[in-house]
Amino acid sequence: MINENTNISPWILLNNQVIDGEGNIKDLSKDKEAARSYFLNEVNKKTRFFHSLEEKIEYLTENEYIEKEFLEKYSMEEIKQVFEYAYAKKFRFPTYMGAFKFYNDYALKSKDHAEILERYEDRLSFIALYHADGNIEKAMELIKRLIAQDFTPATPTLLNTAKKHRGEFVSCFLLEINDSLNDIARGSEFAMQLSKIGGGVSLHLSNLRAKGETIKGHPNAAKGVVGVAKLLDNAFRYADQMGQRQGAGAAYLNIFHADIEDFIYTKKLNADDDIRLKTLSLGVVIPDKFLELAKEDKDMYLFYPKTVYDEYKIPFGDLAIHIDKYYDEMVENPRIRKKKANPRKLLEMIAQVQGESGYPYIMYADNVNNSNPLNRDVKFSNLCTEILQPSVVSTYADYDKRDLDEIGQDISCNLASGHMANMMNNKSIKETVFAAMDIMNSVSEKTNLSYIPSIAKGNNLMRSVGFGIMGHHGYIAEKKIYFGSKEDLELIDVFFNIVNYWSLVHSMNKAKETGLKFDKFEESDYASGKYFENRGEILPNTEKVKELFEGIYIPTDEDWKNLKEDVMKYGLYNSNRLAVAPNGSSGYVMSATPSITPIKQLIEERTYGNSKSYFPAPALDKSLHYYTTAYEMNKYKIIDVIATAQKHVDQGISFELCITSDLTTRDLQRFYLYAHYQGIKTLYYTRTQKLKVTECEACSI
């Protein structure tokens, strides 16, 4: 709480009256008062006034705040049509945090930051016009869904679209590194270049030779994975986005790599400073073979990648994804160097380090690849663990032999997120999915990262996007449904089945319209029709959920049958369509609970400058009884909700385990195993109430 006699803005004082001095709920109405006060006393006073839209656009374009070119594709009457629709809706931020987050971090400002040059309606109108690319009908569909807050583009798209001097529309990238000094150097260089533009970068290190392996026949010469991870840790702190925030990076390693124990140990709180990774996030790739050995309490073998490559001529990261196929043969092969480890102790080590630091992330490799319709290997994930796409490692020659470079295929994340409550209340699931897909496809088409050739190649060939959902917990609480209840699981199942259907329809229509299919479509389960087996109409059964879907079209078995035939005939434009991000920063702007996971606090506390701000959960005054935080909630019920959605999501769902300090590492391991059993693909951070880990830095401002 803030002393009211201090020199603090009135809206901060009002917002701080939401709770009392002991942190208990005091007066939730004060948050709306704070939003109004902030708008009247800060936003209105700092916003530059224009007599007309023509004057505003002329000023913004002539002074190089907004691009001219995309506006020249429309008549002024068409531009007015979009802006007038947005303003006619008289949108008001329902929370102080939503208003503050947008106008402080997203809204266009004068070069000296003294004036606000656009309102929320202006930002959304520019986004609609820019990504509709001259099509006024499409622009109108986009502004309808944007101003209704049915969805939002990802942070970099919301922030940068239409601006003359801007960053990229994409902020999340995945790179594989191969096993040579050239490959490591280029990977580090690319990571720094992407970090410089605000990107968060995940790197796959499983191909690297382990500590003590040979280099050009010299034994014990290799420094191992930890040395490269330390190099990357320093690189991200150096390329820190002009001092505004640290760079954000993650490194993934397969659990059968000989350096896995050293890799995990780098996140222990008492790790030696020479090896401790201060900012680099860690992820562990876990094939089923590891869990099988742990279950049977058998020793496992960790392998030295250089000797594996020498024997099979396959990069270790590619082979280790299929470890079950090679494991026994490699154990018996005397030419492959290996060492023993106890899988149960290794699993306990993961749980212990997660309890201390929140790391490592976990990717269940077989859950990912057994359900992957592309039939191409997914070997690692991103900073927030929801991106699961195939990649092909690059090999780089010496600088004077660049024509010998073998450019593989890396990944960029083109994202948007729907607001579940608004999509349901506005009966607009189909329209929202179509609008979000239009913007994400536009982002993919307009993204030019030619200086990272493997990412440019992957984007051009795959055109992958990731539509996600936020606001789930807020919506069910408002509708008097408990998280993880029978009604909740039913709602999730029906809702995500509909979202999946319309994303497929949109991608098929785009392929039909353009004649373009994603690379190697013919090898996928979409082309064979296998993907559509056991997919079809899912109807609500309980009366409460039936009521929620009244007026919403639910695709029938016949619809799914026709879609299968169309996809097999015309293909899909996008290799991937759905991915549920954590939605921290954008969730505030949307006044929504993050992702599809439960809230962590009834009233979330954030610190900005020298003051605290509070974000009450939606409809908290009416639905307090239906909110339980992720720390207090039954973890198995949370996993069940995520698993129900995961059946319909082709990529992943960013999912944090939130635990209380009284839970043991044994408890945590049970959650790992249950999540795997239920088909969960990835686990993001593990948080305890004493541990505060900031949201994915790549997606936040």
pLDDT tens sequence across 311-357: 999 999 999 999 999 999 999 999 999 999 999 999 999 999 999 99
d(CA 694, CA 584): 9
The answer as to whether 394 is a domain residue is yes
CA 82 to chain centre: 30
Which residues have CB under 8 Å from 537's CB, separation 6+?
554, 555, 556, 557, 559, 560
How many C-beta neighbours within 10 Å does residue 690 have? 8
Per-residue pLDDT of 101-113, as tens digits, reads 999 999 999 999 9
Residue appearing with tokens 């059968």: 256
d(CA 43, CA 116): 7
Instruction: State the chain's mean pLDDT as an integer.
Output: 94
386 a catalytic residue: yes
Report the pLDDT value the prediction gives residue 245, as an integer from 0 to 100.
56
Which residues have CB under 8 Å from 644's CB, separation 6+?
489, 492, 493, 496
Per-residue pLDDT of 228-268, as tens digits, reads 999 999 998 887 655 555 678 999 999 999 999 999 999 98
Amino acid at 314: I
How many C-beta neighbours within 10 Å does residue 642 have? 25
Residue 700 pLDDT > 70: no
Handedness of CA 667, 668, 670, 674 (dihedral sign): positive
- Reported as a pLDDT band with limits 50, 70 and 90, residue 606 is confident
Determine which of 12-21, 246-255, 469-478, 601-610 has the lowest per-residue pLDDT on average.
Answer: 601-610
Amino acid at 16: N
- Reported as a pLDDT band with limits 50, 70 and 90, residue 468 is very high
d(CA 157, CA 168): 8
Handedness of CA 188, 192, 193, 198 (dihedral sign): positive
Residue 18 pLDDT > 90: yes
Using a CB cutoff of 8 Å and minimum separation of 24, what contacts does 423-427 make? 423/150, 423/151, 424/475, 424/495, 424/548, 424/549, 424/552, 426/148, 426/150, 427/551, 427/552
Report the pLDDT value the prediction gives residue 694, as an integer from 0 to 100.
47
Report the pLDDT value the prediction gives residue 688, as an integer from 0 to 100.
86
The answer as to whether 281 is a domain residue is yes
- Rounded to two decimals, the pTM is 0.95
Report the pLDDT value the prediction gives residue 690, as an integer from 0 to 100.
63
d(CA 639, CA 637): 5
Report the pLDDT value the prediction gives residue 76, as an integer from 0 to 100.
97
604 a catalytic residue: no
Compute the average pLDDT of residues 30-47: 96
Domain that holds residue 261: 174-411
Handedness of CA 295, 299, 305, 307 (dihedral sign): negative
The full DSSP string for 41-107 is: IIIHHHBPP-SSHHHHHHHHHHTTSB-STTGGGS-HHHHHHHHHHHHHT----SSHHHHHHIIIIIS
Pair of tokens at residue 244: 């505004």
The answer as to whether 186 is a domain residue is yes
**DSSP reduced 3-state for 307:** helix
Determine which of 4-13, 177-186, 197-206, 516-525 has the lowest per-residue pLDDT on average.
Answer: 4-13
634 a catalytic residue: no
The answer as to whether 187 is a domain residue is yes
Report the pLDDT value the prediction gives residue 241, as an integer from 0 to 100.
54
d(CA 292, CA 57): 63
Report the pLDDT value the prediction gives residue 295, as an integer from 0 to 100.
96
Catalytic residue among 16, 178, 369, 382: 382
Report the pLDDT value the prediction gives residue 699, as an integer from 0 to 100.
54
Pair of tokens at residue 408: 């593989």
Residue appearing with tokens 């496809």: 441
End-to-end CA, the chain:
24
Across the strands, what pairs with 578? 467
The answer as to whether 215 is a domain residue is yes
CA 410 to chain centre: 16
Angle, to 10 degrees, between the axis of helix 181-196 and the axis of helix 225-238? Answer: 30
The answer as to whether 382 is a domain residue is yes
Backbone angles phi, psi at 556, to 5 degrees: -90, 170
Determine which of 3-17, 338-352, 368-382 has the lowest per-residue pLDDT on average.
Answer: 3-17
d(CA 512, CA 6): 63
Contact 120, 155 (CB under 8 A): no
Backbone angles phi, psi at 266, to 5 degrees: -65, -15
Pairing of strands 611-616, 657-659: unpaired
The answer as to whether 7 is a domain residue is no
CATH of the domain at 330: 3.20.70.20
The answer as to whether 5 is a domain residue is no
Residue 93 pLDDT > 60: yes
How many C-beta neighbours within 10 Å does residue 509 have? 16
Peptide linkage before 360 cis (omega within 30 of 0):
yes
**DSSP reduced 3-state for 351:** helix
Compute the average pLDDT of residues 211-222: 92
Closest CA to 596 of 655, 658, 681: 655
Compute the average pLDDT of residues 142-166: 95
Compute the average pLDDT of residues 381-402: 94
The full DSSP string for 540-603 is: --SHHHHHHTTT-----HHHHHHHHHHHHHH--S-S--B-B---HHHHHHTT--STTSPPS-SE
How many domains would you assign to the chain? 1
Residue appearing with tokens 């992407």: 194
Give the single-character DSSP code of 691.
Answer: -
* pLDDT above 90: percentage of residues in the chain: 87
Per-residue pLDDT of 398-456, as tens digits, reads 988 888 989 999 999 999 999 999 999 999 999 999 999 999 999 999 988 888 999 99
Determine the Cα angle at 219 with ends 215 and 221, to 5°. Answer: 55
Report the pLDDT value the prediction gives residue 654, as an integer from 0 to 100.
96
* Length in residues, the chain: 701
Compute the average pLDDT of residues 89-95: 96
Which residues have CB under 8 Å from 225's CB, separation 6+?
205, 208, 210, 211, 251, 253, 257, 259, 262, 263
Backbone angles phi, psi at 388, to 5 degrees: -135, 90
Pair of tokens at residue 410: 């890396």
Residue 692 pLDDT > 50: no
Catalytic residue among 78, 118, 176, 386: 386
- Reported as a pLDDT band with limits 50, 70 and 90, residue 1 is very low
Which residues have CB under 8 Å from 697's CB, separation 6+?
200, 245, 246, 247, 248, 383
Which residues have CB under 8 Å from 106's CB, separation 6+?
123, 158, 159, 589, 701
Contact 110, 117 (CB under 8 A): yes
Contact 468, 423 (CB under 8 A): no
Give the H/E segment covering residue 174.
strand 172-176
Catalytic residue among 384, 413, 696, 699: 384
